[in-house]
């Protein structure tokens, strides 16, 4: 394993000029495929907004917190977080917000505000 192997040069460009161009899409075939899909129950994609990572990071959460816990503790935390996230009256929308919510709850409890 101590032998040094010689470097290999990879050529990704040779023969690229001989590739045939991509064929044009036939509009009639596309329309027929869409119609056939509708007949068997496929629906069109919603017009909804696309998910954008910049939007997800807009609250400034860009630091990761790693902790060691048992499998049972993890399952319980995820279960509790899931319940709160799915509660329509809750402002918590993800696990990060759940952790912040739990820490704030602890701080209020420690200060005697609860």
Q: What are the sequence ranges of the domains in the chain?
A: 64-111
pLDDT of residue 65: 86
This prediction has a pTM of 0.47
- Percent of the chain scored above 90 by pLDDT? 33
| 30-61 exposure pattern, b = at least 16 Cβ within 10 A, e = fewer | eeeeeeeeeeeeeeeeeeeeeeeeeeeeeeee
Residue 97 pLDDT more than 70?
Answer: yes
pLDDT tens per residue, range 64-79 = 889 999 999 999 999 9
pLDDT tens per residue, range 16-52 = 888 888 888 888 998 998 899 889 988 777 666 666 6
């Amino acid at each position: 394993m101590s032998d040094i192997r010689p470097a290999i040069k990879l050529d990704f460009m040779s023969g690229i000029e001989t590739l045939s161009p991509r064929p044009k899409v036939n509009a009639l075939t596309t329309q027929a495929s869409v119609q056939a899909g509708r007949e068997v129950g496929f629906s069109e994609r919603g017009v909804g907004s696309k998910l954008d990572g910049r939007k997800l990071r807009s609250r400034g959460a860009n630091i990761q917190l790693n902790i060691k816990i048992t499998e049972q503790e993890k399952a319980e935390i995820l279960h509790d977080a899931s319940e709160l996230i799915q509660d329509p009256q809750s402002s918590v929308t993800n696990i990060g917000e759940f952790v912040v919510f739990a820490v704030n709850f602890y701080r209020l409890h420690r200060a005697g505000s609860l």
